[in-house]
């Protein structure tokens, strides 16, 4: 039977228009390695990547697709099935950034005991974190008992962990999070509590309100339509607002309500991607108070590690501790096959996935 190379394609004009294409893999080029993608997660973060596909961050350009179609990226594990790359052995397994599909050909450079970097020309200008593939045999963040949780949370937890570091450097007395049921928001709230920082206030939808309350991570939980309740009682100044939603009217209401107590406004996500086809971006109109600043992990973490190198080991330690803790927040369910991938993407794009549901996939049975 010929080797399969199925992959998900998403229309760049409408993220709800999707297809799975099966093509024959080309002969493997000299110096390249071919990886079979074993396990990956689909979350709202993947929708954000697609919504920002043609933005300056260029997520469509990591894995180019045919005209008009994008190949969305995901995080997961893959095993080397064929290799013409020195130091990258068949059977070795790597965690990293992959297309939603069955296989990926890479051009390994900077090969070492902990992994390699994909040196493909079209990826050379991308942030290093997206091009690194970490060998699970030497990965301090790997735990064989929690692979599904790693695909769901590992990059999102890292974003939340470092965002908490950034938030606390501003010494806020109160923190407000929108889209509080988002996995990165949960990670941020978890880390704030772990560090003894301000217990955050959550903004969420009526549908997710009970879930957010049940996490026990938030001091108060408010629906979006009740933002004005932030003023009654008022939050102690200074306040930091972290936006994972990307909805202009909600951000405007938060800024107006908090007024002079709002010291910082940070943009991280765009779970309400339909409000902004370009994903995370500044508001269309000026907001009262501080100008929202975009938090971008691939820029923030390397700069912070130069100041405090010990934070790298601390993040890895906390990451491993979070895997079992995450099971109280999200239940991972692994599904097999192309139809399941199509269904999960459609549900995510429609906002029809419960916050306690973790969508983990593989195209073929293990």
Identify the weakest region by mean pLDDT among 252-261, 284-293, 324-333.
284-293
**To 5 degrees, how large is the angle CA 168–CA 171–CA 176?**
70
Tens of pLDDT, residue by residue over 78-107, are: 999 999 999 999 999 999 999 999 999 999
Annotation: CATH topology of 6-139+330-362? Quinone Oxidoreductase; Chain A, domain 1 (3.90.180)
- Beta-carbon contacts of 333 under 8 Å, excluding residues fewer than 6 positions away, are 357, 358, 359, 360
C-alpha–C-alpha distance, residues 11 and 354, integer Å = 24
- Beta-carbon contacts of 208 under 8 Å, excluding residues fewer than 6 positions away, are 180, 181, 355
C-alpha–C-alpha distance, residues 185 and 177, integer Å = 7
pLDDT of residue 36: 97
153-300 has the same fold as 6-139+330-362: no
Average pLDDT over residues 140-161: 96
pLDDT of residue 40: 98
Contact 213, 196 (CB under 8 A): no
Residue 285 has pLDDT above 90, yes or no: no
- Beta-carbon contacts of 1 under 8 Å, excluding residues fewer than 6 positions away, are none
C-alpha distances (whole Å) from 252 to each of 179, 262, 361 are: 15, 12, 37
C-alpha–C-alpha distance, residues 245 and 184, integer Å = 11
Percent share of the chain, pLDDT over 70: 95
Residue 340 has pLDDT above 90, yes or no: yes
Contact 39, 147 (CB under 8 A): yes
Residue 1 has pLDDT above 70, yes or no: no
C-alpha–C-alpha distance, residues 134 and 114, integer Å = 6
- Beta-carbon contacts of 253 under 8 Å, excluding residues fewer than 6 positions away, are 227, 228
Contact 134, 117 (CB under 8 A): no
Q: For residue 29, what is the DSSP state?
A: P
pLDDT of residue 286: 76
- Beta-carbon contacts of 365 under 8 Å, excluding residues fewer than 6 positions away, are 336
Strands 262-267 and 293-294 come out as: parallel
pLDDT of residue 271: 65
What six digits make up the tokens of 206? 């009526």
Residue 280 has pLDDT above 50, yes or no: no
Residue 157 has pLDDT above 90, yes or no: yes
Between 145 and 351, the higher pLDDT residue: 145
Give domain 153-300's CATH architecture: 3-Layer(aba) Sandwich (3.40)
φ, ψ (nearest 5 deg) of residue 318: -70, -35
What six digits make up the tokens of 23? 């093509």
Band of residue 124 on the pLDDT scale cut at 50, 70, 90 = confident
Classify 132 as helix, strand or coil. strand
Question: Domain residue spans in the chain?
Answer: 6-139+330-362, 153-300
Instruction: Please state the separation of Cα 348 from the chain's center in Å.
Output: 14
C-alpha–C-alpha distance, residues 355 and 357, integer Å = 6
Residue with tokens 């108070």: 289
Instruction: Please state the separation of Cα 215 from the chain's center in Å.
Output: 20
pLDDT of residue 270: 65
Tens of pLDDT, residue by residue over 42-51, are: 998 898 889 8
Identify the weakest region by mean pLDDT among 20-24, 216-220, 285-289.
285-289
- 91 C-beta neighbours (distance < 10 Å), count: 8
Cis peptide, bond prior to residue 233, ω within 30 of zero? yes
Tens of pLDDT, residue by residue over 189-222, are: 999 999 999 989 999 999 999 999 999 999 999 9
> Taking the complete model, does pTM exceed 0.95, yes or no?
no
Sign of CA dihedral 231, 296, 282, 50: negative
Residue closest to 97 by CA, chosen among 118, 125, 121: 118
Contact 20, 7 (CB under 8 A): yes
| Crossing angle between the packed helical segments 147-169 and 311-326, to the nearest 10 degrees | 130
C-alpha–C-alpha distance, residues 190 and 255, integer Å = 24
Tens of pLDDT, residue by residue over 300-325, are: 999 999 999 999 999 999 999 999 99
Q: For residue 2, what is the DSSP state?
A: P
pLDDT of residue 53: 82
């Amino acid at each position: 039977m010929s080797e399969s190379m199925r992959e998900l394609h998403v229309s760049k004009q409408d993220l709800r228009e999707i297809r799975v294409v099966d093509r024959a893999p080309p002969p493997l080029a000299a110096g390249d390695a071919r990886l079979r993608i074993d396990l990956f997660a689909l979350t709202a973060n993947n929708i954000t990547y697609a919504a920002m596909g043609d933005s300056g961050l260029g997520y469509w350009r990591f894995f180019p697709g045919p005209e008009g179609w994008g190949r969305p990226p995901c995080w997961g594990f893959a095993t080397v099935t064929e290799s013409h790359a020195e130091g990258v052995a068949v059977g070795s397994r790597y965690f990293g950034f992959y297309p939603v599909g069955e296989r990926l050909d890479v051009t390994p450079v900077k090969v070492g005991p902990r992994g390699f970097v994909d040196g493909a020309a079209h990826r050379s200008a991308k942030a290093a974190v997206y091009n690194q593939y970490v060998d699970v045999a030497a990965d301090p963040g790997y735990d064989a008992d929690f692979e599904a949780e790693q695909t769901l949370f590992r990059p999102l937890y890292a974003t939340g962990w470092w965002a908490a570091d950034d938030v606390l450097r501003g010494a806020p007395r109160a923190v407000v999070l929108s889209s509080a049921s988002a996995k990165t928001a949960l990670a941020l709230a978890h880390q704030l509590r772990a560090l003894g920082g301000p217990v955050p206030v959550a903004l969420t939808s009526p549908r997710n309100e009970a879930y957010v309350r049940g996490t026990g991570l938030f001091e108060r939980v408010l629906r979006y339509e009740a933002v004005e309740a932030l003023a009654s009682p008022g939050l102690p100044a200074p306040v930091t607002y972290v936006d994972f939603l990307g909805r202009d009217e909600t951000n405007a209401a938060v800024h107006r309500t908090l007024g002079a107590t709002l010291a910082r406004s940070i943009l991280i996500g765009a779970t309400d991607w339909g409000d902004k086809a370009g994903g995370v971006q500044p508001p269309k109109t000026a907001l009262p108070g501080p100008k929202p600043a975009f938090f971008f992990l691939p820029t923030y973490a390397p700069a912070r590690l130069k100041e405090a190198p010990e934070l790298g080991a601390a993040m890895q330690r906390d990451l491993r501790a979070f895997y079992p803790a995450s099971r109280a927040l999200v239940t991972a369910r692994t599904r097999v096959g192309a139809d399941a991938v199509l269904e999960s993407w459609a549900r995510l794009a429609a906002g029809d996935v419960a916050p306690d549901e973790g969508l983990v996939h593989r195209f073929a049975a293990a």
